[in-house]
Every structure is written in C-alpha cells, then in structure tokens.
Structure 1
C-alpha cells in the first residue's frame, strides 16, 4: 500500500537530484553544484536514499521542538522585567541589562522580536542619509580629540536641565572626559580640560564647532586677552601647545555628534536606574560609565603610539586656565577690571611701575591675580563701580536670570495679618499720655 510522505521544497529538490543520480544522468560533483552542498554531503544523502528511498531524505527533526527554543518561563520573566523597568529601552540596551543585572540568557534578536510583538519597540526603516565624504580615523590615541557640549534633560524630570561636555578620541572612539556643567562656558571647558590633562596628558589637537568659546566669530577680531584674535580658551590652549581646529559642519565632527546621541539614550537610562538627580551625583558616576562605554565601543588604533604629552613643570594650570586680560598701570598705580579699581601695593618707587603693562588673571571663583613679568603683584581693592547692563548670549540667558521661587502655601509669610483659626487678631495699643 502506498504511503503518503510530507516533504518540504528543499527535500523535493534533493529527491529529484537523487533520482537523476540513480538514472546516471548526473555525477556526484554536478549534484553538489546543483544543490549547493559539498560532495561529502551528497555521498551521505545518496547512502540514505539507497537504504530508505525518499523517506531517507526527510528530516528526522520534523514535528519535534527545536533544541534552541526559549523556555516559556525564561521568556515570561524577560518580558515582565522589560515591561516593569525597561519599557522605553532599545533592544540592545534592554538585552545588556537583562544579561548583566538579572542573568537572563537571551539573544539580542530574541529580545528585539519579543519587544516588537508586545508593541514596546517599533522597527524603523533605515533612512536615506546624505552622502558625505568619508574621513579616515587618525592613527594614534590623543592625536585628535573631538569636543562638544550637549544640552539635554539628562536627569529627566528628577533634576535640572544641564549640559554634558564630551571629549572623544578620533582614533579609537574612546570617551576621554565627561563632565556635567550648568552651561557651555569658558570655565566649564577649563574644568573638564584640567581633569583630562591631569589624567591622560595633553593631546595634539582639539576638534570643535564654531562656538564662541573656541573661536572669535567676527571677520576682523581685535583679540581677547594676550592672544591676538583668540578667545580665552584658544589663548590657554596656545600656551599649552594644543591646536584648536573648528569644523565647518556638524557632519565633519560626526564622531562626537553620534556619541552625543548614544549618550542621550544610554546615559539618561543609567542615571534613572541609579536614581541620580543632581549634577554632583552624576559627575561622581561618570568615570564608571566612561570605562564601561569604552570597554563596549572603543576600537584599537592603527598605531600603538600614544600621542598624549605630559604637562611640563613650567605649565601652571592654575594660571593658564584663567580669564586673562592686559592693563596699563596709571600714574598712581591703579587699574580697572570688571568694574573694580585695584590699587597696586609696591615697595618700588612709584615711577618704576607707571604705565607698566600687567596681566590680570581671574579664576572660576572670581579670585584675581595681577602679574608683572610673570610675578604676582600685591594689591588692594580701591573702589567698586556700580553695576551696569551686560551683554549675554542666548545660551547663557537661563543661567544669568535667577527667577525667585515663591514660598509654599503653608509658609508663615502667607498667613501674616490673617485671622488665626477664624478668630480676629486683636492688637493692643499703648495708652496715649499727655505730654503737656
């Protein structure tokens, strides 16, 4: 009695080739080419066909569960954790957290399919990106460091909006420095640069955008501080022998731009998981995050040479990373800086320092140092001038304006002059006396 066999399309193709081998219309080498198999595999199929005919070509695994199937308990546990803690995570980051924190063994693709099925992740079609000329990575670590500031709600609704300063190496993609600051200012970049220099050394060049911290954005700059045509940060990097290169477009410094997008996804969620909500707490965690990020995403450079240079003994960061300007001493040895008149105290004769050019250095705390021939001059504050209107750019406007916060509804100030518990306030006045 004939028996009906169920075969797949691939198995039917193999059956047809085996029949042609049997009729000697093909040789094993040609059969291997037709089926895309090795000659060794064709020999195995031929032996099964000779013993069991068409039945020998049917897979023995048909109707049985896969060896790689996911157990229902593991799948349900992963889904419960994703819905409870990682509902807005991407599949890659959710897979990492399931594996590292909860020890749930699942592949990234399984997590992705699970999240798509539950409506937690929507697959996106790749966009047609504009074509930009590719630039090869630099060869050495520290040869070119891309820097940028990313203004974002890093602490979401738990804390204030702030800026993350990002220093990333062009050759390896390593995060060399991360720092939360209130605004993208000169002193903020100085603080991040100091931490970076003291840990890794000085790079050959910084690659940045055309922000006013890095570049004087006028056609004929008159200069700032002692560096003609330079910003304060440019002058400081010039003294440290670090070149600053400004990109013409965001695509030109794409490495740090893409890193900002990754950080706005991963770092925000890591801060949420650790319930960090302040700039101080976030900065304490950034070193741990930086090491983990570099372990996952950094690539080896083409050259093993480290282009970082150590700080020289003559390079005093306490003075170099200050806001500096030059002034001429008056006949009575006074100068004006930031609406304050400073009186120089000196044992020298007064005429010796008249019209002398001095350098005024102001650090982030507002402490002023006056230098003459690289030596500090003692001074006293003679007079503070009245505060006048100042020019502020749009990026620093929120930092300059301090909006007073009204007191809560139960504050004693709100009950001043009102009846207590519904009873009117009784005021006892002293009796008037007849002074006559």
Structure 2
C-alpha cells in the first residue's frame, strides 16, 4: 500500500539523515525535534532499519500520540499544582521521572508550565569566575549557616548549619537549630568529624563565633603588645590541628553559598511536599533522606583519589574539646563559681584540697559541667554559697579531714 508522507515526517527524516551523516550533533538534533537525546538514537535506528517507513507510527485504531500528549500535559499540570507547587523545573522533572513514572525532558516540562502560566522565568545569576576546587577530599571544608524560613511559616524559623567538601561537593552533615550559637556550631562540627574525620582546613566567614571581632575588655589581653583572645571554636579547632581560613566576602565562599541556594529551593520544596512543620522531624528527614539523595545527585569525584580527611586519633574525646572552656581559681572553701552557681571540689585519692589551684571548667554540648585539674577530672557537687567564717564551713573542714583519713 502506498504511504502518503506528511511534510512533518519528511522534515524529521531529513533532519535524522543529517544526524546520521554527522552534520548535526545529538544535542542540536534533539532540540530541533523536541525529544530527548536518548530518543534521537532510537529514531536513528528506526531509520537505519526501515528507512522513512520507520517514522510512520502505524497506530491506526489507537489513540493518537497528540491525544496521549495532551493527557500527559494535563497530568503534569495537575501534579505541579497539587503536589509540587514551587519546585524548580529540574527538580520537578526529576520527581516526574523518579516518582510519578512520567519520562519527559526538562525542556518539555518547562515549555508546558510556562505556556500554562504556572511557572515564571527566573533571572539567571550573574556569572562569576570561581577558584578551582581542591584536588583531594578533606583538604578544605567550606562551613556556614543559612538563615531562612525553611518551614515557610508552618513552624519556627530555622537556622541550617553545615559544611561542604570543597573537592567533592559532598555535604557530610548538617542540622537545623532555633539559633546560630557556639554550642550549635560545635554540635555540627562534632557530627562532621565523627562521620568523616578531621579536614586539613575550614573555610568560614568572619563571624564573632569564629574570630574575635571586638576590641577591648575581655576580648583582648595585653602580653608583649595586643593579643586577641581566641573564640571557643577557634580554640577547639586549634587543639584538633585544623587550620581556619577566613573568607573576605560571601562571594568568596562560592560553593557553600550555592549549596544554600539549592537547599533554600529544593529542600524547602521537599519539606513542604512532606508537610513537615517541626524542627525535629525536619532534622530526621534532612539526615536520613534528603542528604543521601542530595550527595548522590550533586557530589563528584575529586581530581586525586587519595583522601586528606584525618581519622580521629585513639584517646581523643571530642566532647572534651568541642565544649566551652574557662579557668577558675579555687577559693578557700574549695569552691568555684560558674554562671551564678557554686560547685564544691571534693578530695581525691591523691590530693586532699585544691585551694588556690587553677582548674579548667568544661561545659559540654549536652549541658553537663566537668572540672579538670592537670588533665584529671575532679569530683564535684553543686552547693549553696557558703561563708568561710560560719559554723558550717568549720564542720566541712572536719568532714573533709575524715574523708581524707578514710581514703588514705
């Protein structure tokens, strides 16, 4: 039977012939025909096997491709309006392919949403020339906080604290908090170190949590000139042998700034899609579902396969380093004060008293308090403030002598 060829089929045939002969590249051919790159190769094989007849659908008696296409477009519009409102084009296309079973190109989805008025064109960011990434994973961790309404009013405004490996774009750990304080940042750093080890350096901004930004008072000590007292985080990272590099501007932290842009888009959409409105639930979703998927999609292989992450040495207890540390001098009644509370230091088997000794107070990230003297943790008890010259103090001194006699 003689086949009547439409102008459209003839046009497609000539374009595919140019592609087969190498005159057109796959991407260009796909754009002209409005199909995916994979489908171009299927059409090429049909032409090679059957010639122009391979482009004739031959589906008489079945719904036309145009009708099927219209039904699919309506489904896509419905999905976007009812389940994926606010998703960007790429993210929405991934959801259609992975979760809704609709295989379609990003450009086709973009066309459908733009023509229906469901999506507005976004301005492209100004292009900047970024420095080359590090060659090994673990050489540099870019670290920052994103202050954003991640729950879009369904719950409290949250801070997202985390880091990204400069070489691989992997996000080893991140967590939501109600505030962006020293303890919160120590919790995240501990989470990163427990999962990956220690990086050689951390690249961060000049926030007062990381570097002393004020002068005078407690922030500066005079010793052979002006000496700036380290922040708690700077002191902890120095103890761990991690170099701190301070960025001069937000643009200098390019990778993590782009990461936060992705999270403020994709993660916000996912939290909305899952109807999450609590911080604890958001953290569970972030750690167990979102981050593994994000890292699989966006991380890359480093230029050099050897890792620069350093394992945590045996004997190192992160809770004794990533904590708030301060010095106190023991008073005559064996007590110290810390944050308005009084603690009595009890005798040990090796020493009866610690009067006038300088001890180290550690406030751990779990809220517990620990007092050390030359690396040894001391037994303590929380008490009411006592006066040295009252009867209770004299009775305590006698009791302490009895304790010393019993343990000697």
Shorter-chain TM-score range: 0.7 to 0.9
Cα offset, 1:372, TM superposition = 0.3
* Other-structure match for 2:283: 283
- TM (norm. structure 1) is 0.69
2:120 maps to which residue?
122
Contact 1:331 1:351 survives alignment (8 Å)? no
Distance in structure 2 (CA, Å) of the matches to 1:217 and 1:120: 47
* Aligned counterparts of 2:303 and 2:348: Cα–Cα separation in 1: 59
State the 1:305 CA deviation. 1.0
Say yes or no: does 1:168 pair with 2:164: yes
- How far, CA to CA, are the matches of 1:321 and 1:359 in structure 2? 14
- Whether the 8 Å contact between 2:175 and 2:286 is mirrored in structure 1 is yes
Cα deviation, residue 348, structure 1: 7.7
Residue of structure 1 equivalent to 2:342: 341
The residue number in structure 1 matching 2:362 is: 361
Report Cα offsets for 1:301-328 as digits up to 9, x if no partner. 1110111111112211121121110112
Counterpart selection for 2:191 from 192, 195, 198: 195
Match of 2:371 in 1: 370
Give the total of aligned pairs: 332
User: Structure 2 matches for 1:286-325, cutoff 5 A?
Assistant: 286-287=286-287, 288-325=289-326
Structure 2 residue ranges without an equivalent (≥5) = 1-5, 25-51, 60-64, 222-226, 387-408
Cα distance between partner residues in 2 of 1:7 and 1:101: 37
Per-residue CA distance 1:160-190 (angstroms, 9 max, x = gap): 1111112101111111111111111111112
Aligned partner of 1:111 among 100, 109, 112: 109
Alignment deviations for residues 229-266 of structure 1 (CA, whole Å, 9 cap, x no partner): 21111111111111221111001101111110110110
- The CA distance in 2 between the partners of 1:74 and 1:66, in whole Å, is 21
Q: Within 1, Cα distance between the matches of 2:351 and 2:237?
A: 35
- 1:332 and 1:103, CA in 2 relative to 1: closer, same or farther beyond 3 A? same
Q: Partner of 1:180: helix, strand, or coil?
A: strand
Offset, 1:126: 3.4
Per-residue CA deviation, residues 92-122 of structure 1 (Å, 9 max, x unaligned), is 1111111111101111000000010011222
Q: 1:139 aligns with which of 131, 135, 140?
A: 135
In 1, Cα distance between equivalents of 2:382 and 2:124: 63
Residue 193 of structure 2 corresponds to residue 179 of structure 1: no
- The verdict on how the C-alpha distance between 1:188 and 1:347 changes in structure 2, with shifts beyond 3 A counting, is closer
Deviation per residue, 1:185-229 (Å, 9 max, x gap): 111112112222111111111111111211111247437xxx962
Superposed, 1:44-55 pairs within 5 Å as none
CA distance in 1, matches of 2:95, 2:348: 68
How far does the alpha carbon of each residue in 1:116-163 deviate from its partner, in whole angstroms, 9 at most, with x for none?
A: 00112222343555x5x5311001111100111112111222211111
Query: Using a 3 Å threshold, how does the CA distance of structure 1 residues 125 and 360 change in structure 2: closer, same or farther?
Result: closer
Distance change in 2, residues 1:141/1:383 (3 Å): same
CA contact (8 A) 2:325 2:363 kept: yes
Q: Which runs of 5+ in 1 are unaligned?
A: 1-5, 15-31, 39-59, 386-436
Change (3 A) 1:98 1:242: same
CA contact (8 A) 1:344 1:379 kept: yes
Q: Which moved more, 1:289-298 or 1:373-382?
A: 373-382
> For residues 163 and 384 of structure 1, do their structure 2 counterparts lie closer, same or farther at Cα, with a shift above 3 Å needed?
farther
* Residue 341 of structure 1: how far off its partner (Å): 2.4
Q: What is the CA–CA distance in structure 1 between the aligned matches of 2:168 and 2:58, rounded to whole Å?
A: 41
The structure carrying a bigger helix percent of its residues is 2
TM-score normalized by structure 2?
Answer: 0.73
Structure 2 counterpart of 1:94: 92
- The secondary structure found in structure 2 opposite 1:326 is strand
Q: Residues 276, 126 of structure 1: CA spacing in aligned structure 2 closer, same or farther, 3 A cutoff?
A: closer
SS in 1 for 2:173: strand
What SS does the aligned partner of 1:83 have? helix
- Measure, in 1, the Cα distance between the counterparts of 2:310 and 2:283: 25
Q: How does 1:147-166 map to 2 (within 5 A)?
A: 147-166=143-162
State whether residues 332 and 350 of structure 1, in contact with CA within 8 Å, keep that contact through their aligned partners in structure 2.
Answer: no
CA contact (8 A) 1:202 1:242 kept: yes
Tell me how far apart the structure 1 counterparts of residues 335 and 380 of structure 2 sit (CA, whole Å): 9
Larger radius of gyration: 1
